[in-house]
């Protein structure tokens, strides 16, 4: 069974349309976990696609390098 928090994160990730959206999610999210861990957990539980996972990881790394 997948926990509700992970489903909520996946719902948000599935709605991110661009790098600026990803940036907003990174800065507005609960800071108790790493965003890359959240992305990977959602993918591993079948809640986001491989294509979305790859894009979000790339964008997250770019954003981290900008700050």
DSSP code per residue over 12-47: HHHH--SHHHHHHHHHHS-TTS-HHHHHHHHHHTTS
Mean pLDDT score across all residues of the chain = 94
pLDDT at residue 41 above 70?
A: yes
Q: Which two tokens stand for residue 55?
A: 């894009």
Distance set, CA 56 to CA 1, 28, 32 (Å):
24, 16, 19
pTM for the full predicted model: 0.92
- Tell me what percent of the residues of the chain surpass a pLDDT of 70: 99
Domain chopping of the chain, boundaries: 4-66
- Of residues 1 and 48, more confidence is placed in 48
What pLDDT does residue 4 have? 86
């Amino acid at each position: 069974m997948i926990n509700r928090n992970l489903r909520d994160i996946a719902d948000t990730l599935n709605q991110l349309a661009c790098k600026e959206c990803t940036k907003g999610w990174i800065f507005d999210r609960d800071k108790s976990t790493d965003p890359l861990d959240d992305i990977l957990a959602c993918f591993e539980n079948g809640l986001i696609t491989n294509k979305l996972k790859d894009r979000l990881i790339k964008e997250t790394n770019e954003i981290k390098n900008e700050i």
